[in-house]
Structure 1
Amino acid sequence: MPNLTRNELLSKGNALPKFIETELGKEKLCIECQEYWPLDHEFWFTYRNKPNKKGERTIGYEAACKCCYGIRYRPQKQKGTGQIKSYFERGGEF
């Protein structure tokens, strides 16, 4: 793929690549914020993949970065969603 900017990729209707190579090394696209972050344990949660044909397990990285993980996969745990509302906020009438 030629070196195109992010805006050029989006304007042509192409999807952004999942991985890019930069001066920081390999970076991965977050599916929630649509930003690229370095592919390491600081920015991504990891999991162990299923064994391949050789029987080796590799490290897999989640699709959403650590910052967006809760928003994407645990929306019920967001701040403010479980707060007790007053009678008026629940729609009560005087």
Structure 2
Amino acid sequence: MYAVVAVIKAGSDLRRMPVDTSSLTDAFWAHAQESDGLEHVRVAHAVDGVSVALFMTARDRTEAAATALVLCWRLVVAVPSFAGWYVESCLVHGARR
């Protein structure tokens, strides 16, 4: 399992979080596909956005990062209250077996 941390930020003219962290966690689960390998989600407020820790099963770090990035963008595009938001970064921080 890989721990991937993504930062999702508001555009320059947006300043507030569109949903609370528990609703955002639910949104990740609602938009995840079985093939994403999502095992756990943790969302926290960050400067001008949110930090999301995604714990994912994947063949390697590259696949974990790519899948997490696609999932984050899927959420940003699909949730209307995230209009104007973007995924700033998506980094794999380690693997656990």
Q: TM-score, normalised by structure 2?
A: 0.23
The structure whose residues are more often helix, as a share, is 2
Q: TM-score, normalised by structure 1?
A: 0.23
Higher relative contact order (CA 8 A, sep 6+): 2
Specify the structure having the higher radius of gyration (Cα).
1
